[in-house]
Structures are given as structure tokens and as C-alpha cells.
């Protein structure tokens, strides 16, 4: 997990003071919102046990997907200053999913710091988790408002989720190709070839005629529309340079955004 944290910190160290300040405020706002959701969940025993029951009913792949969506929203926040393309919006997470993933992450945190505390009947987990949550909030409240105190817990959470999702996603999914998001493909610009005989579409190996409308990817490479569209329906990469377009696949989008951080770091 230290390697993941180091990459995130190295990438963020390249930001200007203004961008880092903007990121800090965004992380603080998001953290407050998530704390508020957890506080509401823990303050209602009936809601807590309903959410806990729902969590226990989920399969491991479904739990992994919950954490992946949570991780993706955090990576979108971290990488929005490094994007070559506009961030791709995913469907908003429902309240029940938010409660479930926040409870799951809280359980993981307690298990990591004090595994013995959960060696009790399920009926006592509410008390244990509520105490841990309150102790954590009191600790954070006394740290002050420096950027490190705000960002480090967030970075640690992202690194933990990234490590978990990376391990689970590697089971049967390594090296797979994902399609570019249709909304992103539709928004690609059409440009005219300014000079004929010099530009070749690498997919069909034919020259692009002067004055013809072709597709321009964010990496500046040009392709015939009839060539690039079938390509992007199967994969989200540029045929020339492997630049990645946003995708509707959660795990594919996590990998894309993570590579943005790695390249910057």
C-alpha cells in the first residue's frame, strides 16, 4: 500500500499551489459529506442493521464492485487537474449503495486496527463501530486544517481501495479490452484533412484525401470515421499511441485514471 500512496503523493506534488488548494477544499467537502452519511447510518440502529444485513447478503464480486465505484469517484476527484479529456460522468450512486460501501470500509478499517473488537456477536457491532467512528472524528478534529492532515487520510483510503480492487480485478480480468464510452465517442471532433497524400489512416493503411472529414482523437491522431468507430466499440485506446479514452467499464476507468496518476508521478 505504501507504493500506491507514494505514487499519489508524487503526482499531487506536481500541482501548483492554487490547484492543490482547490483539491484540498474538494477533498474536505467530500470527506465531510461521507462523515455525515456515516453519522446518520450509525445514529439509527434500525438503518445500521438493515445495511449490515444487506452487506452480508452481497457476494464478493458485488462487494468488490461497490468498492470500485467508491474508488472511481475518489480517483476522478484526484485526477481532474491532469486530464487530457473531460472527466467521464458515471451514474450517481444510490443512497443504499453509499451506506453499504461506507459501512464496509469502516468494518475493514476496524479489522485492520483492532481485529479483536469484532470478535463479538453481530448485535454488538453497532456499539464497536460507533465508538471507533467517534474516536476517529475526535482525533481528526484536533489535527487542525493543514493540507497534509486533510489529504493523507483520503490518500490512505484510496490506496487501500486501489490495492483491494487491483487484486480482485486481476482474477480473470487481466489484460482485457474495454470499449470507449459512447458519450465520449459521440463528442469526438470531426476535422478536415488540410493536405492530401501525407496522412495515412493506420487502421486501413489508406491515405486521407485533402478536404475529407476525419476523426481527431484527444492525442491529435487522425482516422477515417468508418475505421475508428468499429475500433472504439471494442477498445478505448488510440491505435497509434495507446492513449486511453474514458470508458463505461468501472474497472477499466479505474485503470485509466490510475495510469494518469502514474504518468504524472
Asked if the structure places residue 241 within a domain, the reply is no
pLDDT attached to residue 86:
60
Q: Indicate the pTM of the whole model.
A: 0.83
Asked if the structure places residue 188 within a domain, the reply is yes
Asked if the structure places residue 239 within a domain, the reply is no
What is the rounded distance in angstroms from the CA atom of residue 178 to the CA atom of residue 84? 19
C-alpha cell at 211: 478536404
CA dihedral 25, 1, 101, 183 (to 10 degrees): 70
Judgement on whether residues 120 and 216 belong to the same structural domain of the protein: no
What is the rounded distance in angstroms from the CA atom of residue 143 to the CA atom of residue 150? 9
Tens-digit pLDDT profile for residues 75-86: 998 888 776 556
Judgement on whether residues 52 and 96 belong to the same structural domain of the protein: yes
Q: Which of 150, 166, 167, 165 is nearest to 12 (CA)?
A: 150
Asked if the structure places residue 115 within a domain, the reply is yes
User: Taking 60 as the threshold, does the pLDDT of residue 144 lie above it?
Assistant: no
Judgement on whether residues 93 and 154 belong to the same structural domain of the protein: yes
Please name the residue that has the C-alpha cell 487542525: 144
Helix runs in the chain, H state only: 2-12, 17-42, 45-57, 60-79, 95-113, 125-141, 147-173, 182-186, 225-232, 250-264
Give 248: exposed, middle or buried? Use CB within 10 Å, 0-12, 13-18, 19+.
middle
Judgement on whether residues 106 and 127 belong to the same structural domain of the protein: yes
Pick the residue with more confidence: 201 or 211?
Answer: 201
CA dihedral 13, 150, 85, 73 (to 10 degrees): 140
Asked if the structure places residue 79 within a domain, the reply is yes
Asked if the structure places residue 238 within a domain, the reply is no
Judgement on whether residues 126 and 7 belong to the same structural domain of the protein: yes
Domain count, the chain: 2
Judgement on whether residues 197 and 141 belong to the same structural domain of the protein: no
Asked if the structure places residue 257 within a domain, the reply is yes
What is the rounded distance in angstroms from the CA atom of residue 55 to the CA atom of residue 108? 13
CATH code for the domain of 204: 3.30.40.10
Pick the residue with more confidence: 217 or 208?
Answer: 217
**CA count, 13 A, side-chain hemisphere, 34:** 24
Q: Return the CA Rg of the chain.
A: 22
Judgement on whether residues 114 and 208 belong to the same structural domain of the protein: no
Judgement on whether residues 260 and 208 belong to the same structural domain of the protein: no
Judgement on whether residues 192 and 98 belong to the same structural domain of the protein: no
pLDDT attached to residue 239:
92
Overall average pLDDT of the 166-181 stretch: 73
pLDDT attached to residue 69:
92
Judgement on whether residues 75 and 195 belong to the same structural domain of the protein: no
DSSP codes of every residue in 83-132: -SSPPPPPPPPPHHHHHHHHHHHHHHHHHHH-GGGGSS-GGGHHHHHHHH
pLDDT attached to residue 101:
93
Tens-digit pLDDT profile for residues 154-173: 998 999 899 888 877 665 55
Q: Which of 201, 241, 200 is nearest to 225 (CA)?
A: 201
Residue 192, classed as helix, strand or coil, is strand
Judgement on whether residues 135 and 221 belong to the same structural domain of the protein: no
Asked if the structure places residue 243 within a domain, the reply is no
- What's the domain range around 202? 182-232
Judgement on whether residues 92 and 213 belong to the same structural domain of the protein: no
Amino acid at each position: 500500500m505504501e507504493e500506491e500512496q507514494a505514487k499519489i503523493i508524487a503526482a499531487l506534488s506536481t500541482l501548483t499551489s492554487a490547484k492543490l488548494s482547490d483539491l484540498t477544499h474538494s477533498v474536505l467537502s467530500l470527506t465531510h459529506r461521507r462523515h455525515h452519511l456515516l453519522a446518520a447510518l450509525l445514529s439509527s440502529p434500525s438503518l445500521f442493521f438493515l445495511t449490515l444485513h444487506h452487506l452480508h447478503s452481497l457476494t464478493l464480486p458485488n462487494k468488490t464492485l461497490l468498492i470500485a465505484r467508491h474508488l472511481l469517484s475518489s480517483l476522478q476527484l484526484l485526477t481532474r487537474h491532469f486530464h487530457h479529456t473531460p472527466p467521464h460522468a458515471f451514474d450517481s450512486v444510490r443512497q443504499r449503495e453509499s451506506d453499504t460501501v461506507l459501512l464496509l470500509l469502516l468494518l475493514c478499517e476496524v479489522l485492520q486496527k483492532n481485529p479483536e473488537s469484532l470478535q463479538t456477536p453481530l448485535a454488538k457491532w453497532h456499539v464497536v463501530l460507533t465508538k471507533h467512528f467517534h474516536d476517529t472524528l475526535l482525533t481528526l478534529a484536533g489535527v487542525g486544517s493543514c493540507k497534509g492532515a486533510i489529504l493523507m487520510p483520503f490518500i490512505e483510503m484510496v490506496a487501500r481501495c486501489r490495492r483491494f480492487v487491483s487484486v480482485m480485478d486481476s482474477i480473470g480480468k487481466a489484460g482485457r479490452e474495454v470499449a470507449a464510452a459512447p458519450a465520449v465517442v459521440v463528442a469526438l471532433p470531426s476535422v478536415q484533412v488540410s493536405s492530401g497524400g501525407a496522412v495515412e489512416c493506420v487502421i486501413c493503411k489508406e491515405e486521407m484525401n485533402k478536404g475529407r472529414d476525419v476523426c481527431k482523437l484527444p492525442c491529435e491522431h487522425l482516422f477515417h470515421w468508418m475505421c475508428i468507430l468499429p475500433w472504439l466499440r471494442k477498445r478505448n485506446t488510440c491505435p497509434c499511441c495507446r492513449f486511453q479514452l474514458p470508458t463505461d467499464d468501472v474497472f477499466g476507468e479505474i485503470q485509466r485514471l490510475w495510469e494518469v496518476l502514474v504518468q504524472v508521478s
